[in-house]
Chains A and B, each alone.
Chain A
């Protein structure tokens, strides 16, 4: 019996394995195409139309008009600015605070480390609506705990309308976002710091490195992938801040807490401007993609 050539056998095997691989991939691919790629394409297509809610379901192609209108829409620009402020304030503070807490607790006794992780992770596993309602009562103008404590301690003279005053509203939102965002990064940092190669740490200490030097020269490079993940996730979450706004301020007062996500929702589901809302969605996606790319680039060059 003639033997097949080894090369052709290998190609046949590769082909069969490739087919089998794609077959196993197919279910996920179907889901991915249906629920990710198709909506993304439709979002871009719809953003070029004046789609709205009508019985006929028809819409006209209007080119880039929605995009041009967007950048002349003061409310959108305000929402974009607020979103950027949230991201710029929230992302570094969440990362720094999480790293600090993680570094303080990761080498504690097991029970203490677990207790801290539970405490910081609780707001994450608690429903965002429940958390928001509690914060709403903390900030309440007339009967809120914050005003009660503040006025009784003499920190301020009379009640402050935390969510109703444009000077404070965005800060209050960022504070809530902060408390609900730090849980996961802390857990991740505790895990990452626990996995740092102890031999390198000990070698550095033997060489006379200070604690700070050990941290920055030895530990920091090893937890860089975790940091990058946290940066990207926190950035995306901050850009997508919606539930807090919807439940607490409806974008007010005076658009002080409008975010792009909330404005998308408002345009689509209150004003029925589907095309316009999709254009905003595209712009938001581009912003997130650009910022994530920058973060990847910076983190790579640093590591």
Chain B
């Protein structure tokens, strides 16, 4: 009896151990170039991993990760695009991972570190070219580039060695938005060229702020609670007196130039603008749309068309370029497109390239994806947004798009150093000293990145 009990106990113990072993995923190959296990991909539990040679009958399981660029994280929109692709490539299954800008990078980095990187990703050059591309995770997509893509766009998606880590799909110009009702009430529209959506001069911009401040407590903010939306405050500062943020080669940071110092000092001094370390870009948009602020520097056509942002405003939002002395604004561009991770599986890369090519080559399909993003095409396309008043109005700002310097090395550190410097300036720090500190920190990061 005792023997039976002991045997039973041993069998039970073994069962526990074996069931635990069965639950574990087994040993992992730490080689980052190894293809990820498709069964680990989100929503892919029921998919069969298939890896057959590429060709007309392309067969693969892919993961597509998208950031919220227009409706690129909207399930119905993205699935409709995939359905178009599957009509031609029925054996390529695509699972989706939706990302956001608050922790999307961390999600992707976690996937990379777990040897489970997405095969396709939809984002912009600061992540695709300057980050994951520079670290060697992405494949060169030059061979997919459609004819007629604007040169400036191609340049922004290509690194110094000529590798193109982003296949551009859409672009926009980040701008300002003003509460036209309030500006009219304050008689501040006189400082604006309404036809071109530009300020008559930087001095006029400051006068407009003062005029609105006389009737409204909060005109605008230099938000510096984080990096989100920082293209807005960077563009504001660099445009006011023609300053630069980086050198033209995008290798070093030059944000401590005299023009930027003058601009920030003017923003410190003007009545109506506050430095707010409590908020970042998304909160600024929210405060603008609910009427708390009279203008937003983190604005673009996407925000204007958003059901939760621009469309909630009960006043007329008037898009504006950033103020300049020269009358020639330089707007920060946003360029989004596909990147393809090299997961070590040629079939998957082939299938991912087929997807990216399918979406961008054929004009009809290309128009669909561009419309899904809500931004503009990266090459001439006929009939896009015909009759769309908002797109027509905001389209006037697109020619002001400037160089895409967000691919400068050390960008993550530089962004943090920038909003930290703005916080110190807002709290009474000397502008030149703080900008010098920002540049020193950012350039140290650039040098470290350059040294590898």
List the A residue with the shortest CB-CB distance to B223: A164
Which residues of B are found within 8 Å of A255, using beta-carbon distances? 420
List the A residue with the shortest CB-CB distance to B410: A271
Which residues of B are found within 8 Å of A142, using beta-carbon distances? 218, 287, 292
User: Using a Cβ cutoff of 8 Å, how many contacts connect chains A and B?
Assistant: 93
Given contacts A20-B9, A254-B277, A27 and B16 within 8 Å (CB-CB): yes
The answer to whether the Cβ of B112 comes within 8 Å of any Cβ in the partner chain is yes
* Dominant secondary structure of chain A at its interface with chain B: loop
The answer to whether the Cβ of B196 comes within 8 Å of any Cβ in the partner chain is no
Other-chain residue from A20, A30, A161, A254 in contact with B278 (beta carbon distance below 8 A) = A161
B13 and A164 within 8 A (CB): no
B13 and A270 within 8 A (CB): no
Given contacts A164-B279, A250-B226, A53 and B109 within 8 Å (CB-CB): yes
Other-chain residue from B6, B105, B109, B419 in contact with A252 (beta carbon distance below 8 A) = B419
Other-chain residue from A27, A141, A163, A254 in contact with B424 (beta carbon distance below 8 A) = A254
List the B residue with the shortest CB-CB distance to A274: B113
The answer to whether the Cβ of A289 comes within 8 Å of any Cβ in the partner chain is no
A270 to B137, CA, bound (A): 17
Which residues of B are found within 8 Å of A55, using beta-carbon distances? 32-33, 135-137, 342
Q: Separation in Å of the A167 CB from the closest CB of chain B?
A: 10
A271 to B449, CA, bound (A): 11
The answer to whether the Cβ of A151 comes within 8 Å of any Cβ in the partner chain is no
Q: How large is the interface on A (under 10, 10 to 19, 20 to 34, 35 or more residues)?
A: 20 to 34
The answer to whether the Cβ of B106 comes within 8 Å of any Cβ in the partner chain is yes
Given contacts A164-B279, A254-B420, A270 and B105 within 8 Å (CB-CB): yes
Which residues of A are found within 8 Å of B112, using beta-carbon distances? 53
B416 and A270 within 8 A (CB): yes
CB under 8 Å from chain B, chain A span 110-164: 141-143, 161-164
A165 to B277, CA, bound (A): 7
Given contacts A55-B135, A252-B226, A269 and B427 within 8 Å (CB-CB): no
The answer to whether the Cβ of A23 comes within 8 Å of any Cβ in the partner chain is yes
Given contacts A53-B112, A53-B113, A26 and B17 within 8 Å (CB-CB): yes
Q: Separation in Å of the A284 CB from the closest CB of chain B?
A: 20
B423 and A252 within 8 A (CB): yes
Which residues of B are found within 8 Å of A161, using beta-carbon distances? 276-278
Interface size for B (C-beta < 8 A) is 40
**Residue from B13, B17, B424 having most chain A Cβ neighbours under 10 A:** B13
A166 and B17 within 8 A (CB): no
Given contacts A20-B13, A30-B20, A55-B135, A141 and B276 within 8 Å (CB-CB): yes
CB under 8 Å from chain A, chain B span 329-383: 342
A143 and B32 within 8 A (CB): no
Q: Separation in Å of the A299 CB from the closest CB of chain B?
A: 37
B136 and A54 within 8 A (CB): yes
As a 0/1 sequence over residues 215 to 253 of chain B, the CB contacts with chain A under 8 angstroms (1 = contact) are 000100000111000000000000000000000000000
List the A residue with the shortest CB-CB distance to B342: A55
B32 and A252 within 8 A (CB): no
A226 to B137, CA, bound (A): 52
CB under 8 Å from chain A, chain B span 402-452: 412-413, 416, 419-420, 423-424, 426-427
A116 to B292, CA, bound (A): 39
B412 and A271 within 8 A (CB): yes
The answer to whether the Cβ of A210 comes within 8 Å of any Cβ in the partner chain is no
B20 and A270 within 8 A (CB): no
The answer to whether the Cβ of B30 comes within 8 Å of any Cβ in the partner chain is yes
As a 0/1 sequence over residues 30 to 57 of chain A, the CB contacts with chain B under 8 angstroms (1 = contact) are 1100000000000000000000011111
A252 and B225 within 8 A (CB): yes
List the A residue with the shortest CB-CB distance to B10: A23
A54 to B342, CA, bound (A): 13
A141 and B278 within 8 A (CB): yes
The answer to whether the Cβ of B31 comes within 8 Å of any Cβ in the partner chain is yes
The answer to whether the Cβ of A249 comes within 8 Å of any Cβ in the partner chain is yes
Which residues of B are found within 8 Å of A253, using beta-carbon distances? 224-225, 277-278, 423, 426-427
Which residues of B are found within 8 Å of A269, using beta-carbon distances? 105-106, 109
The answer to whether the Cβ of A272 comes within 8 Å of any Cβ in the partner chain is yes
A249 and B135 within 8 A (CB): no
As a 0/1 sequence over residues 191 to 209 of chain A, the CB contacts with chain B under 8 angstroms (1 = contact) are 0000000000000000000
A252 and B287 within 8 A (CB): no
B412 and A57 within 8 A (CB): no
Which residues of B are found within 8 Å of A162, using beta-carbon distances? 278
Which residues of A are found within 8 Å of B6, using beta-carbon distances? 16, 20
Q: Separation in Å of the A162 CB from the closest CB of chain B?
A: 8
Which residues of A are found within 8 Å of B427, using beta-carbon distances? 166, 253-254
Shortest 5 CB-CB distances between A and B: which pairs? A164-B278, A253-B277, A55-B136, A23-B13, A164-B277
Q: List 5 A-B contacts (CB under 8 A).
A: A26-B13, A26-B16, A27-B17, A164-B225, A266-B416
Given A252-B224, A252-B419, 16 new contacts (CB under 8 A): A24-B13, A27-B20, A53-B109, A55-B32, A55-B136, A55-B342, A56-B136, A57-B31, A57-B32, A141-B278, A164-B279, A250-B226, A252-B225, A253-B427, A254-B420, A255-B420
